[in-house]
Amino acid sequence: NDKKNLLVLAGDGIGAEVMAEVWRLIDWLDRRRGISFAVSEGLVGGVSIDAHGVPITDATMAQALAADAVLLGAVGGPKWETLPFEVRPERGLLRLRKDLELFANLRPAVVFDALVDASPLKAEIIRGLDIMIVRELTGGVYFGQPRGIETLADGSRRGVNTQVYTTEEIRRIARVAFDLARKRQNRVCSAEKANVMESGVLWREEVQWVHDNEYPDIDLSHMYADNCAMQLVRNPGQFDVIVTDNLFGDILSDEAAMLTGSLGMLPSASLGAADVSGRRRALYEPVHGSAPDIAGKGIANPLAVLLSFGMCLRYSFDLKAEADLLDRAVNGVLDGGLRTADIMQQGKARISTGVMGEAIIREMDKLSG
């Protein structure tokens, strides 16, 4: 059965706006390449709360579990911020990650040549930059117990979250990072706070253990996460693969996004363990959120979600030629000077989400003859 089952969850805010450009690409692949997907759609986040009272329904979860891949736009927004914590839009995304056991979040930060002067950092610092952040996604302080807000005897309150990592959780994410490094520059930097946190001490020891026993050929270094944040802007070129926990990975990947010129450029893939046939459960999503400040204006950058779909073509459907073509199309369009408003560059015309999407399709046409 070679039906490619794709579940699309556009979500909230700019999620639906940027996802419209993916639909163009899906249509293009069908028309021009004879590649068709069995696409279904569902609700996640605030739109699901509005329709069903929960950020994701059991039925949508079942669809996600059955799909070969899930593509998600973004969730969240001011409309739902005052809801009780357990039913907020973000819980829908976190449930998807947890229940699909998507422990490995790959967040590549690549600087396109045309955008070297769009970063707030100097061009010479970020030219040619290509970093892969590997973020642990189903453990750590995001899910650790105990957690909650409790009221104390004197009426004051206490908020609790717990950072927990086990040997196996650390080892499996380390293996993902080392495997990726072997196909790249052979370097892994592991970031934690082993100077302050016991979970950080364990993290460092287990990453070192996996290295020494299974990947001695990789150049492994350890760095405190705060120093890593600083080094990312001081000299990002020193990094190849960075492996880190759930919370540090969230923060470091937003930071890395700005090296590339805009958060609207950064894709991600969230992968589970491989089954016997080598297939992994997978969810693809931009690193950015629902961008309430620009939602509804039609000016969001669709490249992050398009590149996320590109990662989906590459990792879940083995469509390397098409994924490469998309990367080249993005390069071509950026070289041609088109920019959405989030990219800070002087003297460029500002185009809408839709015009950017159309330009990508036109470039795909051109490149594929």
Residues lying near Mn ion in the complex (CB under 5 A) = 250
Is residue 118 a contact point for ligand NAD (CB under 6 A)? no
Is residue 264 a contact point for ligand NAD (CB under 6 A)? yes
Question: Which residue, 93 or 109, is less far from ligand NAD as judged by CB?
Answer: 93
User: Which residues are part of a known binding site?
Assistant: 77-90, 97, 107, 135, 226, 250, 254, 289-301
217 catalytically annotated: no
Q: Where are the alpha helices (DSSP H) in the chain?
A: 14-33, 46-52, 58-66, 89-99, 123-126, 167-182, 198-214, 225-234, 246-259, 303-315, 320-335, 353-367
- Active-site residue (options: 4, 12, 193, 240): 193
| One residue of 16, 26, 39, 94 binding ligand IPM per CB under 6 A | 94
Q: Which residues pair with 70 in a beta bridge?
A: 7, 283
Vertex 105 angle, CA 102 and 109, to 5°: 160
Min dist CB 113 to ligand IPM, Å, is 26
Question: Which residue, 97 or 204, is less far from Mn ion as judged by CB?
Answer: 97
- Active-site residue (options: 254, 324, 327, 348): 254
Identity of residue 74: A
Return the axis-axis angle of helices 167-182 and 198-214, rounded to nearest 10°.
Answer: 50
Identity of residue 341: A
Which stretch in 34-42, 214-222, 288-296, 327-335 sits in contact with ligand NAD by CB under 6 A? 288-296
**Structure tokens given for 225:** 């996460």
Return the axis-axis angle of helices 14-33 and 353-367, rounded to nearest 10°.
Answer: 20
CA dihedral 266, 179, 248, 331 (to 10 degrees): -10
Is residue 99 a contact point for ligand IPM (CB under 6 A)? no
For binding to ligand IPM (CB under 6 A), which residues are involved?
A: 76, 90, 93-94, 250, 287, 289
For binding to ligand NAD (CB under 6 A), which residues are involved?
A: 14, 18, 74-77, 90, 93, 263-264, 285, 288-294, 300-301, 304, 342
